[in-house]
Structure 1
Amino acid sequence: MRFLIDFFPILLFVAAYKLQDIYTATAVLMAATVLQTGIIYGIDRKLQTMQKVTLVLVLVFGVLTLVLQDERFIKWKPTVLYASMGIVLGAALWGWKKNFLQILLGSQLTLPTAVWGRLTVIWVGYFLFMAAINGYVAAYYSTEDWVNFKLWGYIFPVVFIIGQGLYIARYIKDDSNGAEKS
């Protein structure tokens, strides 16, 4: 269910682009992201930092796209988002000696400190890769190609999440065995 909630703004964006144009698609993306954020808040009664940042960037870059009638803004929004997240995670880990990924997810996952460090480096690499690939497609391909990339490019996060799950699975302790031994 959560995957559908995460995916529906991009599906609506692509559909609106195919039926109309990039400006209609941008307005649809903005509305869908507001709705998505409301649904997530309704379910969880809170928003993660990434959800808040995504909402703000979609609205800011969307408004710039619509007001200035310049599609480059919405096309570069993912690059700004991914690069920002990669830079913040990297700066926190190497500059401030804080592991934001562990701070954000540590209450949900118990992993060794070294694994949290490697996981954060992997996330930094992923975010910077996604920023670079979106920037490349936005700069060198047509808007039609970029929109198609937004849809089919979802393979990258799916592969990343599966790979990450496989990586951390060996470090997650099975609490059910411990509960039975007590």
Structure 2
Amino acid sequence: MAKVMPQLLTRFLQPNRILFPLLFALGCATTSAVPATDLHADHILILKSKHTMILLTNNTVLKTYKVAIGKGSGGPKQHEGDHETPEGFYIIDSKNAQSRFHRALHISYPNADDRKRAQTADVNPGGLIMIHGIQNGLSWLGSLQHTIDWTDGCIAVTDSEIDEVWKLVPVGTAVEIRH
């Protein structure tokens, strides 16, 4: 038996055999994996009709959150004060750690299309659209905040969720908001 084992190992570890390529592939897969601490989103997809925000990295879902949106009728934002959440393509252009909503990531609304639409309608498109936590002092609401749409057009998650989003989403991340 002692002579058989080395012969089996030698036979299966030859480069043209199955085991060696398999071990090599497994080794490569583990060394090229991204450490959890290096993960970050490169795209945020917000589905208003599903009250869902999805963080993606390389087209792979990183995290999904339930969200509250603007307390308007659910349509696209048309003008300042309509309480609607905009729809379109934006970026995260800044972060505010001192927000009155725990933490906030500013969305680059209005974009060129939004400004053109507002100009045509002779209205102010508004601004200050953010992804944020719960208003300071009300964090005890937790996930209850998802049960109604209460924002002025922003996207809201719980305070613990915005802490996580804050770490995963760098400034410059693409944001797509769909109905």
Q: TM-score, with normalisation over the residues of structure 1?
A: 0.25
Higher fraction of helix:
1
Q: Which has the higher contact order (CA 8 A, sep 6+)?
A: 2
Higher fraction of strand:
2
Q: TM-score, with normalisation over the residues of structure 2?
A: 0.25
